[in-house]
Structure 1
Amino acid sequence: MTRRAIIPAGLDAAAAQTGMTPAIAANGFLFLTGATGSGPNGVMPADPEAQIRQAFSKISQVLVAADLTFDAVVEMTSYHIGLRAHFDLFDRIRREVFAAPYPAWTAVEAAGLRRERAIVEIRIIASHS
């Protein structure tokens, strides 16, 4: 199996610091590490909408670095702190980001996330074909 690391400009320092690769391309698929809504400066916004939009923005950066768009996403898992409190907001933004046919999606209420003050972490799988 051939694997290729995808590390967009601007995420290389975070990748080195955490010891994680933003995405791995393997066998025609792109597997993304979960993205939270922290800004480029590492600060987690208090506003749920800002966090959700920033998480999708990070995902977009990784997709673009792999020459893909959101149309290539086949599966998404979202992990939420306080899912019921921001589900409608998340779903509205998700529908702005994706077009039909929508990717398969599972939303999970989590007890905690690695990043302090994060309310969402989004993991996706995209296809090169």
Structure 2
Amino acid sequence: MKKSIVPQDFQHYYDDWHFSPVIESDGTVYLSGVTAARKDKPISTDPEEQFHDAFYKLGVYLAAADLTYDDILEMTTFHIDLRQHIETFSRVKDQYIQAPYPAWSAIGVSEFIPQNSLVEMRIVAKRC
């Protein structure tokens, strides 16, 4: 059985795009791609600020499922200009994700739907 979890600030994703920001099945939680896109703030063109905004949004998604960053089992991150921004991204990531670290794959891509977005994160988490 699966359960859709939609943080109130992101209900428009479910309504307009027809996907669940968070879905739980058998105690495992899957998060749809998380970018820095929000209704209340444009995506920053500063990579460091944008990465903090993406992790803020990730925290909102996790909290909606009664989870924290510590519950992340696997992270797949997709990056525009991966080589140019990976050090900054890693530095920001380490402010949110602590040891024991989740499995992580970083992949370079060419574009995302939200304009100016540099990263999108796919997350698998479980209450540990």
TM-score (norm 2): 0.93
Unpaired runs of 5+ residues, structure 1, are none
Q: Report the counterpart of residue 18 of structure 2 in structure 1.
A: 19
Question: Counterpart in 1 of 2:79?
Answer: 80
Partner in structure 1 of residue 127 of structure 2: 128
Contact kept, 8 Å, 1:37 with 1:50, in 2: the verdict is no
SS state at 2:34 partner: coil
Alpha-carbon distance in structure 2 between the residues aligned to 1:9 and 1:106: 29
- Structure 2 distance, partners of 1:125, 1:89, is 23
| Contact 1:39–1:45 (Cα < 8 Å) also in 2 | no
The equivalences for 1:1-129 within 5 A come to 2-41=1-40, 43-129=42-128
Structure 2, unmatched stretches of 5+, are none
Q: For residue 65 of structure 2, what is the amino acid of its counterpart?
A: A
Q: What's the TM-score once normalised by structure 1's chain length?
A: 0.93
Equivalent-residue separation in structure 2 for 1:15 and 1:50 (angstroms): 26
**Number of aligned positions between the proteins:** 128
Secondary structure at 1:96 match in 2: helix
> Which amino acid is the alignment partner of residue 122 of structure 2?
R
- The Cα RMSD (Å) is 1.3
| Alpha-carbon distance, 1:28 to partner | 1.3
